[in-house]
Structure 1
Amino acid sequence: MSDLVLTDVSRWYGNVVAVNDVSMHISPGITGLLGPNGAGKSTLLSMMAGLLPPSTGTVTIDGAPTRGNVEIYRKIGLVPVQESLYDFLTGSQFVRLNADLQQVPQPDAATKHAIGLVDMAAAADRKISTYSKGMKQRIKVASALVHQPPVLLLDEPFNGMDPIQRRHMMGLLTDFAQQGRTIVFSSHILEEVEQIARQVEVVVAGRHAASGDFAAIRRLMTDRPNQYVVRSSDNRRLATLLLGEQSVRGARLRSNDVLEVEADDFGAFAHAVPRVAQQHGIRILELTPTDESLESVFSYLVNAT
């Protein structure tokens, strides 16, 4: 079992700050690295794997720096997000290549076992150039697993997988976690993280926005203020009535036909609007949330923590 620790880690490229002063302590089990596209997740995983040196700060596994440390590299299995593989090789040759690089004692047996784990035995002798996106993802996972590393780092591992493949891979990662391995996988999809990760690290614009078990992070997301555009038969009167509701934080007329409402409690607000409208004879013509993107949710977490 291995602990992965990031302490005050930053990484910049010229004047561009990709990761800004991030600290994390990741223990055995499954940790979801959650954030919108461009948040810095891939940069963080590359530093965890020792591929990139931090501009400042340290990244260690069991107290040893990851960068430039061959013994630590043997503890890590990395599944990068890039699809560029050695397309002229077969799946079996690709996995065997990593087994040889890692100096696995019985490379043929290890290769066969890793390919079987990801359910790719039937396609192992086909060239990677003939693989679908989901198959390429699975063969990358097999290559990362062939030396049985205690630390597994996966960048958007479920991209391109169909529901059956995704369920199989999630089950595989869960089994590895139960064996005591330390697994970090990145995703911008909340539901992927929710299904298998209990520990969540949220990253937004290179900053560490939130950390904790999934229930706590989900609660922060659910309890954030929600914004809506409302059109009704009497916007001015509806605004006055809604401001009397406990769930409504604010309401303002954007124009004669549009009302903007900010509510703290989505469930209470969803019940309040039809009740108020019915009681006072107001017709609701439109009720649309305006900030339901993951980017807006994550941005709220930055300001809430």
Structure 2
Amino acid sequence: MSTVHVASGPVAPPRPAADIELRGVSRWYGNVVAVNDVTMSLTAGVTGLLGPNGAGKTTLLHMMAGFLAPSRGEVLVAGAPAWRNPAVYRHLGLVSEREAVHSFLTGWEFVLASARLHRLPQPEAAARRAIDLVEMADTQHRRIATYSKGMRQRTRVAAALVHDPQVLLLDEPFNGMDPRQRMHMMDLLHSMGAAGRTILFSSHILEEVEQLSGTVQVIVAGRLAASGDYRRIRRLMTNRPHVFTVSSSDDRALAVALMAEASVTGVELEAAGLTVRAADYGTFTRALPKIAHASGIRLRRVLPTDESLESVFSYLVAS
């Protein structure tokens, strides 16, 4: 992939091995613990911050961006504390989940204002390059109030990229984007990661992380539940035990037939039907209709009972 250049500027001093480092970081609000003893290091490439809603992803990003002070521990950006240190924004760009866009401005005016706030030597040139990167040149002179959510997202990404940051933090960046916009944004982030930037994006959608990131940090209830290669962590998710509720025309006969299936680890016969435990989701769901048909049994309901994101991620905590 080609190298991404957004804006020229002074040469940055040598950076430490980790562009972002968290050391035993916790954050609490009164008696509520939002982040609990998280340690991680982020270097060049694209990393997904994955977890269910309310897991603490936004709190972590806000501490990395210097918006929040850690209640305990250290958050370093380019080797310096993030909290009360505006200088970190020389290295860092942020796209928060909450939209903070003045709708009366045009897209061009918004991105240009960001370039001027960074005191870039050529703000107009930097704004043009950033807008071109996110494919918003054709609509840059329209007021942001007329933009779709996906267009506003791309404009906010342009504003975050205008000073050519080494580190880019994005909180749920694909919200509101159509499929073409999502693919273009993924290609852009891939290119930036390959060029040596450190990209961290949060998501609660497994497929987004799978398409974009080889490295993942999984957050559950404020804790770091898993960290490392996405494929290894995905296997943990896929290979966990699965529970199904099944009802049929003859639950007792189906229970007997299912016990002969290798992927089934347990069957309980209850008044409402069967509770079936399976070691492999795909194998069981393919085998169930064949077993029912061979036994002359009609399936009435097959419902996974543990497929919520919370249950998937919570399994990682116990693994």
TM-score normalised to structure 2 length: 0.90
| Aligned 8 A contact 2:78 2:88 in 1 | no
2:314 corresponds to 1:299 = yes
Deviations 1:179-220 (A, max 9, x none): 100000011111111111000111112111111111111101
2:276 corresponds to 1:261 = yes
TM alignment of 1:15-26, pairs within 5 A: 15-26=31-42
TM alignment of 1:122-133, pairs within 5 A: 122-133=138-149
- Structure 1 residue 270, shift from structure 2 partner: 2.7
- Structure 1 residue 280, shift from structure 2 partner: 4.0
Q: CA RMSD in A?
A: 1.6
Residue equivalent to 1:148? 164
2:290 corresponds to 1:284 = no
Separation in 1, partners of 2:111, 2:275: 55
Residue equivalent to 2:231? 215
2:99 corresponds to 1:80 = no
**Equivalent position to 2:249, from 233, 237, 242:** 233
Deviations 1:78-103 (A, max 9, x none): 00111231122221111111112211
- Segments of 5+ residues of structure 2 without an aligned counterpart are 1-14
Separation in 2, partners of 1:23, 1:240: 48
2:71 corresponds to 1:52 = no
2:54 corresponds to 1:41 = no
Residue equivalent to 2:125? 109
Amino acid at match of 1:122: D
Amino acid at match of 2:316: L
Runs in 1 of length 4+ with deviation above 3 angstroms? 243-246, 274-283
Separation in 2, partners of 1:249, 1:263: 5
- Structure 1 residue 271, shift from structure 2 partner: 4.1
- Structure 1 residue 258, shift from structure 2 partner: 0.7
Amino acid at match of 1:29: G
TM alignment of 1:1-40, pairs within 5 A: 3-40=19-56
| Aligned 8 A contact 1:151 1:181 in 2 | yes
Separation in 1, partners of 2:286, 2:207: 25
Residue equivalent to 1:164? 180
Residue equivalent to 2:81? 65
- Structure 1 residue 264, shift from structure 2 partner: 0.9
Deviations 1:134-185 (A, max 9, x none): 1110110000000000000001111111111111111111110111000000
In the comparison of the two structures, how many residue pairs are matched? 303
| Aligned 8 A contact 1:9 1:23 in 2 | yes
2:197 corresponds to 1:181 = yes
Separation in 1, partners of 2:35, 2:262: 39
For 1:301, what is the secondary structure of its paired residue? helix
Amino acid at match of 1:118: V
- Structure 1 residue 132, shift from structure 2 partner: 1.2
